[in-house]
Amino acid sequence: MARPLRFRYAPGRWTLDRVRRDVFQPLDSNLGASMEPTWFKPPAGYEARRFEMDNGDVALFAWRDGDDPDDEHGNGPAAYWMGNTETPEALWRTDKYGFDRVPFAVARWAERELLAQLHDESPWLEPFPHLSWFFLPVFLSKDGRETTRRFFAEQAAGFPDATRDEALGFYESFLSTGALDEYREEMAGKLGTSEYLDAHRMAAAMSEFTGAKVLHDAGYDLTPEIEVTTGHSLDYRDDADDVDGVLVEITRPRPPS
């Protein structure tokens, strides 16, 4: 099972000819692909291309000739790749980073590209911009892009007695507070990226967001995934002005059968 979307960092000099040879041609040979201009202007100092595969996969590639002062991974020429498709061999031995570990301009550009695609494919998500952004790493993941969206669309994100839009509006109202933005990759990943829809497991994952909203509304600051001495992790540590370090585990009782 593939993980949520992440960038690959490829140091070294890249040219359009090299991109065509080492990135586009392998994709085209294996899957059938087109190399297109990007939908949005690349970050300053970067060139970029968009790859669209015949099977519906997509990938982005941005490269620079010189330094990027916002890049913590190194100076000089380098490139960033992100895609929900097979990785060309030239990029196999490269390091992977989440959206918050690459230059902000690169991450923001990639998010604009992918959010536009997400809303084009699933326009019912467009009224919920923060939810779309938060779960983007799984909504467009290699294996989970269909199942995660089906879960929100057909299962109302796990709510038993709500419409799709009511459920999404509930989570949008919480996520738009930014309370979990810092932990986006970790928390979005709880939904999973499996190509098989497991509505019960996904509903259990979303119950952690429901619990987080209750705690946030009560005035607590949230820190997820707190490791304890038993070797496993509890869902949250909650801190407030008059309370310090309360550990919380979200339980998921079910009606008796």
Residue-level pLDDT at 229: 67
The answer, yes or no, to whether residue 250 has pLDDT greater than 90, is no
- Coil, helix or strand for 177? coil
Helical residues (DSSP H) of 98-228, grouped into ranges: 104-121, 129-134, 136-139, 145-154, 164-175, 184-189, 199-217
The band of 3, judged by pLDDT with boundaries at 50, 70 and 90, is confident
Considering only 128-132, 134-138, 234-238, 240-244, which range has the smallest mean pLDDT? Answer: 240-244
Q: Do residues 105 and 155 touch, judged by C-beta distance below 8 A?
A: no
Asked whether residue 148 is domain-assigned, the answer is no
Nearest-CA neighbor of 94 among 80, 77, 107, 83? 80
**Cα–Cα distance, 130 to 65 (Å, whole number):** 33
pLDDT digits (tens, 9 = 90+) for 137-168: 999 999 899 999 999 999 999 988 899 999 99
Asked whether residue 42 is domain-assigned, the answer is yes
Asked whether residue 23 is domain-assigned, the answer is yes
Q: Model pTM greater than 0.75?
A: yes
**What's the one-letter identity of residue 145?**
R
Domain of 49? 1-103
Asked whether residue 142 is domain-assigned, the answer is no
Length of the chain measured in residues? 257
**What's the one-letter identity of residue 161?**
D
Q: Do residues 80 and 7 touch, judged by C-beta distance below 8 A?
A: yes
Considering only 122-126, 138-142, 226-230, which range has the smallest mean pLDDT? Answer: 226-230
- Coil, helix or strand for 180? coil
Residue-level pLDDT at 121: 97
Phi-psi region of 206 (alpha: psi -120 to 50; beta: other; left: phi over 0): alpha
The band of 252, judged by pLDDT with boundaries at 50, 70 and 90, is low
Cα–Cα distances (Å) from 146 to 112, 159, 207, in that order, read 20, 19, 21
Structural domain count of the chain: 1
Asked whether residue 29 is domain-assigned, the answer is yes
Asked whether residue 73 is domain-assigned, the answer is yes
pLDDT digits (tens, 9 = 90+) for 198-211: 888 899 899 999 98
What is the distance, to the nearest Å, from the Cα of residue 114 to the centroid of all Cα atoms in its chain?
10
**What's the one-letter identity of residue 118?**
L
Residue-level pLDDT at 253: 57
The answer, yes or no, to whether residue 257 has pLDDT greater than 60, is no
Asked whether residue 222 is domain-assigned, the answer is no
